[in-house]
A and B are shown apart, each in its own frame.
Chain A
Amino acid sequence: MRHDHVLSTKQFSRSEIEAVLDRAAEIDADPGSVADRHAGTLLGLLFFEPSTRTKMSFEAAIKRLGGEVVDIGPVGASSVEKGETLADTVRVVEGYADALVLRHPSEGAARMASEFVSVPVLNAGDGAGQHPTQTLLDLYTIRERVGLTDITIGIMGDLKYGRTVHSLAEALTRFDVSQHFISPESLSLPTNVRYDLHESGAQVREHTELDAVLPELDVLYVTRIQRERFPDENEYRAVAGEFGIDRNTLAAANEDLAVMHPLPRVDEVAPDLDSTPHARYFEQAHNGVPVRMALLDTLLS
């Protein structure tokens, strides 16, 4: 891979994505083969926003490659409260680690960080911007389940602020995938993502109801609609109910439909789906480890 940093999925070509997914499959099949490959490597974790999955899976990934982490720790105890700029923090921490994993509430944080350091920066989520490593594990899961050619995917929920959605939609334009976007009007795709989709020649098909497209879908990617996006509780409840799914909702779905979710879910994917063959979200979360191992291996080799 010719990139030093992983900031946004737009930077990847199809073959670069496929190379990471292939490597992830190899590692998944034989994790022992890479157990000491990065012994002595230190991965710096800078999470300025809470995270369970992303942070733990990066930590698991580097440890399974033989490396270790240095962690800035909970945000409250860190430099942020003392008013240090992110630019200063990353310039200090690059001296402690071989690569930095950054989650930050501001859009563009990872890009800025990458301009100040010479170790690789991995964007683990920047506000309502991008979350490229999540996308790689999403693509891995899609490829395992239904393949990445000639499929139809529905992406539903908070498309405006959902960083996993932005990164996924842009990456999918590299493949032969037809995308449908399902959301309340107020949470539809932001202008910049729309612009990128148009630039890559993708058609943006938008819907305010799932019913219209459900039967065509091979994958339904559900994201959470956050309470704070709505001025009042009632409006939020109404919308959240409309864009959540359960067994009944999926009665009209293709029997091989894979339901995915970046997690954590609240009630947009009902637990009654967990035991159906549609449910792929836990497997998706587990794939975070081999995919991040593959990515780290590629960047650090």
Chain B
Amino acid sequence: MSQDDDHQLRVSKIRDGTVIDHVTAGRALTVLAILDIDGSGDETVSVAMNVPSGETGRKDIVKVEGRELNQDEVDVLSLIAPEATINIVREYEVVEKSRVDRPEVVLGVLSCPNRNCISAGAEPIESRFSVLTDGVRCAYCETIIRAELAEHIDVG
């Protein structure tokens, strides 16, 4: 971490876990919702929102203590926070750093906005979306969601 970052750090360092940095400002809570982190587990979670950031103006940061997120879990974040970086921390040090990659499919997480879609009813299926260059598409009804994916995040 650079000195500058240290200076602006709003939440304390974690010993082991994952830091999701450069989250699009205002999206931290959505990130937590996608990762299904709602405080009911034992992990310690800290969130900083609208932190000044040199490159992008403002950003959010999410820190999850005691849990190393794997690439599949985080790739889905690329849909709402394409600039996010994933830092795996062990003994206070970042041991691995990666960018989120766009996944080919998104299982669960999103819900289809088409109320007449078979995936929107009581059927025993998980939502499934294929990822397009500029949006996602329901594998069942083929509805395309382009803007504001965050609005379709299935929370709870």
Q: Interface on A for B, CB 8 Å cutoff? A: 83, 85-87, 104-109, 111-112, 115, 126-129, 191-192, 195
Rounded to whole angstroms, the CA-CA distance of A186 and B144 in the bound complex is 18
Q: Which residue of B lies closest to A105 (CB)?
A: B116
Are A129 and B123 in contact, CB atoms less than 8 angstroms apart? Answer: no
Size bracket, chain B contacts: 20 to 34
Indicate with 1 or 0, residue by residue over B135-154, a CB within 8 angstroms of chain A CB atoms: 00111111110000000000
Please indicate the chain A residues that have their CB under 8 angstroms from the CB of B98 in the complex: none
Are A108 and B122 in contact, CB atoms less than 8 angstroms apart? Answer: no
Please indicate the chain B residues that have their CB under 8 angstroms from the CB of A126 in the complex: 118
Rounded to whole angstroms, the CA-CA distance of A195 and B137 in the bound complex is 11
| One of A105, A107, A128 near B140 (C-beta < 8 A) | A107
Are B142 and A107 in contact, CB atoms less than 8 angstroms apart? Answer: yes
Say yes or no for B114: interface residue by CB 8 A criterion: yes
Are B118 and A108 in contact, CB atoms less than 8 angstroms apart? Answer: yes
Q: Interface on B for A, CB 8 Å cutoff? A: 114, 116-125, 132, 137-144
Q: Which residue of A lies closest to B122 (CB)?
A: A85
Given A106-B118, A107-B116, A127-B116, A87 and B125 touching (CB < 8 A)? yes
Are A85 and B143 in contact, CB atoms less than 8 angstroms apart? Answer: no
Given A85-B122, A86-B123, A108-B138, A128 and B143 touching (CB < 8 A)? no
- 8 additional A-B pairs beyond A85-B122, A87-B123, A107-B140, beta carbons within 8 Å, are A85-B123, A87-B125, A104-B118, A106-B116, A108-B138, A112-B140, A191-B143, A195-B132
Number of A-B contacts (CB under 8 A): 58
Ranked 4 nearest A-B pairs via Cβ: A108-B140, A107-B141, A108-B118, A108-B141
Please indicate the chain A residues that have their CB under 8 angstroms from the CB of B124 in the complex: 85, 87
Given A106-B117, A107-B116, A192 and B123 touching (CB < 8 A)? no
23 residue pairs from A and B, CB less than 8 Å apart: A83-B122, A85-B124, A87-B124, A87-B125, A105-B116, A106-B116, A106-B118, A106-B120, A107-B117, A107-B140, A108-B119, A111-B139, A111-B140, A112-B118, A112-B140, A115-B125, A127-B141, A128-B116, A129-B142, A191-B144, A192-B144, A195-B137, A195-B144
Please indicate the chain B residues that have their CB under 8 angstroms from the CB of A85 in the complex: 122-124
Rounded to whole angstroms, the CA-CA distance of A129 and B142 in the bound complex is 8
Please indicate the chain A residues that have their CB under 8 angstroms from the CB of B114 in the complex: 107
| One of A105, A111, A192 near B143 (C-beta < 8 A) | A192
Are A112 and B144 in contact, CB atoms less than 8 angstroms apart? Answer: no
Rounded to whole angstroms, the CA-CA distance of A115 and B128 in the bound complex is 12
Quote the shortest CB–CB distance from B135 to chain A (angstroms): 9
| One of B118, B122, B123 near A107 (C-beta < 8 A) | B118
| One of A106, A111, A115 near B121 (C-beta < 8 A) | A106
Given A87-B123, A87-B125, A112-B125, A192 and B142 touching (CB < 8 A)? yes
Q: Which residue of A lies closest to B145 (CB)?
A: A191
Are A112 and B119 in contact, CB atoms less than 8 angstroms apart? Answer: yes
Quote the shortest CB–CB distance from A257 to chain B (angstroms): 32
Quote the shortest CB–CB distance from A228 to chain B (angstroms): 13
Please indicate the chain A residues that have their CB under 8 angstroms from the CB of B143 in the complex: 107, 191-192
Rounded to whole angstroms, the CA-CA distance of A111 and B116 in the bound complex is 14
Please indicate the chain B residues that have their CB under 8 angstroms from the CB of A112 in the complex: 118-119, 123, 125, 140
| One of B120, B122, B137 near A192 (C-beta < 8 A) | B137
Please indicate the chain A residues that have their CB under 8 angstroms from the CB of B120 in the complex: 106
Quote the shortest CB–CB distance from A222 to chain B (angstroms): 24
Rounded to whole angstroms, the CA-CA distance of A112 and B96 in the bound complex is 39
